[in-house]
């Protein structure tokens, strides 16, 4: 049974990581369509600033929340359901890089713990804390998990930890969607692949939110992440497309996709589909599949 499109006007939406980058674009788009929005973010000054900026745009509030901490996400859900009675849209969008630089063996356990804590457990915590209550409320709803083409479709080998975390997000979302349909709920799931150009967001500076207990210990100074400007310059030098995405436009795109109950929310997938075919063919020959080649 297919689900009816969602009405955003009057819906209650939660956006994790909504105080920055792509999440902020999602929040703006939701407010423009008349949703009540709860921004959940771990970065308190950014959260306060986002709520102040958006207040004139509609009904918005901020909740300080660490998505990697299940109790913190349960407290967020408690607040949302106590104040609003239901939740129609859950955007599990908060995410971080891994911070260790390229090679898998150059990372250390705390890189994996932090990255998987936010990206994978953060998404799982959102699902576990919200979905049972979303189902119980009887309201229509959609869970939108932010993955990445890096990992979700194929790895960028030099971003192995981040790619592994996003592969997990895509896999989890697919299983979740099947479960929601099999159980005859009024909910669906979507996997969102930010796309349509380079994204100038705080992801390149994720370590600002890295908890001290998960800092690098073994090689603290080794390999910090590339900045957005460095990435853009390297792609430019390699003759690649360096169009910078408009994050508000991307926000409108993902909200429209969620309202339409689209499972895969992504911009042009032509190159991706070609890559996936080549990957499938290589796997069918028992060979290592081709990966994302950034040319840098
Ligand atoms: N920027 C890109 O090129 C790109 C590409 C593909 C996917 N993504 C994904 O898009 C999502 C948004 O990232 P972005 O690029 O906007 O980066 P960003 O850093 O601008 O935004 C991420 C937000 O998540 C918040 N956050 C970090 N740790 C958190 C935690 N433990 N609990 C709650 N909130 C936390 C940050 O404070 C920030 O507001 C992420 O899942 C990221 O992996 C980004």
Q: What is the CATH number of the domain that holds 190?
A: 3.40.50.720
122 part of a folded domain: yes
Q: How confident is the model at residue 62 (pLDDT cuts 50, 70, 90)?
A: very high
* CB of residue 126 inside a 6 A radius of ligand 1: no
Q: How far is the CA of 180 from the centre of ligand 1 (A)?
A: 26
5 part of a folded domain: no
Q: How far is the CA of 182 from the centre of ligand 1 (A)?
A: 31
187 part of a folded domain: yes
236 part of a folded domain: no
Q: How confident is the model at residue 289 (pLDDT cuts 50, 70, 90)?
A: very high
Q: How confident is the model at residue 110 (pLDDT cuts 50, 70, 90)?
A: very high
Domain that holds residue 125: 12-226+241-270
pLDDT value at residue 121: 98
* CB of residue 225 inside a 6 A radius of ligand 1: no
Check whether 222 has a pLDDT greater than 90. no
> One of 81, 91, 114, 162 is an active-site residue; which one?
162
* CB of residue 67 inside a 6 A radius of ligand 1: yes
* CB of residue 118 inside a 6 A radius of ligand 1: yes
181 part of a folded domain: yes
Ligand 1 atom 41, closest CA:
95
Reported as a single tens digit per residue, the pLDDT across 247-257 is 999 999 999 99
Mean pLDDT calculated for residue range 172-197: 97
Distance CA 67, CA 118 (A): 6
Those residues whose C-beta lies under 8 Å from the C-beta of residue 203, and which sit 6 or more positions away, are 21, 95, 96, 97
Distance CA 129, CA 77 (A): 6
Check whether 151 has a pLDDT greater than 60. yes
Q: Which of 121, 192, 201, 205 to mutate to test the pocket of ligand 1 (most atoms within 8 A of CB)?
A: 201
pLDDT value at residue 1: 65
231 part of a folded domain: no
Q: How high is the mean pLDDT of the chain?
A: 95
Ligand 1: nearest atom to the Cα of 169: 41
Annotated catalytic, 263? Answer: no
284 part of a folded domain: no
Least confident of 3-12, 64-73, 237-246: 237-246
Quote the number of domains for the chain: 1
* CB of residue 46 inside a 6 A radius of ligand 1: yes
Q: How confident is the model at residue 43 (pLDDT cuts 50, 70, 90)?
A: very high
pLDDT value at residue 241: 84
Those residues whose C-beta lies under 8 Å from the C-beta of residue 116, and which sit 6 or more positions away, are 161, 164, 165, 168
Reported as a single tens digit per residue, the pLDDT across 228-278 is 999 899 999 999 889 999 999 999 999 999 999 999 999 999 999 999 999
Mean pLDDT calculated for residue range 41-57: 98
Q: How far is the CA of 205 from the centre of ligand 1 (A)?
A: 10
* CB of residue 41 inside a 6 A radius of ligand 1: yes
- Tell me what percent of the residues of the chain surpass a pLDDT of 90: 89
Mean pLDDT calculated for residue range 202-216: 94
| Buried/exposed code over 140-179 (b: 16+ C-beta within 10 A; e: otherwise) | bbbbbbbbbbbbbbbbbebbbbbbbbbbbbbebbeebbee
Those residues whose C-beta lies under 8 Å from the C-beta of residue 105, and which sit 6 or more positions away, are none
Reported as a single tens digit per residue, the pLDDT across 75-109 is 999 999 999 999 999 999 999 999 877 789 989 99
pLDDT value at residue 276: 98
Q: How far is the CA of 138 from the centre of ligand 1 (A)?
A: 30
Ligand 1: nearest atom to the Cα of 147: 7
* CB of residue 17 inside a 6 A radius of ligand 1: yes
Beta strands in 32-140 (DSSP E): 36-41, 60-64, 89-92
pLDDT value at residue 226: 79
Q: Which of 16, 22, 197, 199 to mutate to test the pocket of ligand 1 (most atoms within 8 A of CB)?
A: 22
How many Å is the Cα radius of gyration of the chain?
A: 19
What residues pair up with 191 in beta bridges, in sequence order?
145, 264
Contact indicator for 98, 148 with CB cutoff of 8 Å: no
Ligand 1 atom 31, closest CA:
66
Reported as a single tens digit per residue, the pLDDT across 111-139 is 999 999 999 999 999 999 999 999 999 99
180 part of a folded domain: yes
Backbone angles phi, psi at 191, to 5 degrees: -110, 125
pTM of this prediction?
0.97
């Amino acid at each position: 049974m297919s689900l009816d499109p969602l009405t955003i006007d009057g819906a209650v939406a939660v956006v994790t990581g909504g105080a920055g980058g792509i999440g902020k674009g999602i929040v703006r788009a939701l407010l423009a369509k008349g949703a009540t929005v709860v921004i959940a973010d771990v970065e308190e000054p950014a959260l306060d600033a986002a709520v102040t900026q958006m207040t004139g745009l509609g009904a918005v509030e901020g909740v300080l929340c660490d998505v990697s901490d299940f109790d913190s996400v349960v407290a967020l859900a408690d607040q949302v359901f106590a104040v609003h009675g239901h939740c129609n849209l859950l955007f599990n969008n908060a995410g971080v890089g891994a911070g260790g630089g390229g090679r898998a063996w150059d990372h250390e356990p705390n890189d994996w713990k932090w990255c998987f804590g936010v990206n994978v457990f953060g998404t799982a915590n959102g699902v576990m804390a919200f979905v049972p209550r979303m189902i119980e409320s009887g309201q229509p709803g959609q869970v939108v998990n932010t993955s990445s083409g890096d990992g979700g479709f194929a790895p960028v080998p030099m971003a192995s930890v981040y790619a592994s975390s996003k592969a997990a997000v895509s896999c989890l979302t697919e299983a979740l969607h099947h479960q929601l349909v099999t159980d005859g709920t009024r909910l669906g799931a979507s996997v969102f692949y930010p796309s349509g150009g380079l994204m100038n967001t705080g992801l390149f500076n994720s370590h600002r939110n890295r908890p001290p207990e998960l800092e690098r210990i073994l090689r603290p100074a080794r390999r910090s992440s590339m900045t957005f400007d460095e990435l853009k310059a390297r792609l430019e030098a390699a003759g690649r497309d360096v169009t910078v995405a408009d994050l508000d436009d991307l926000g409108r795109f993902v909200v429209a996709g969620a309202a339409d109950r689209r499972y895969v929310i992504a911009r042009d997938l032509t190159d991706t589909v070609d890559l996936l075919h080549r990957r499938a063919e290589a796997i069918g020959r028992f060979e290592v599949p081709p990966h994302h080649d950034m040319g840098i």
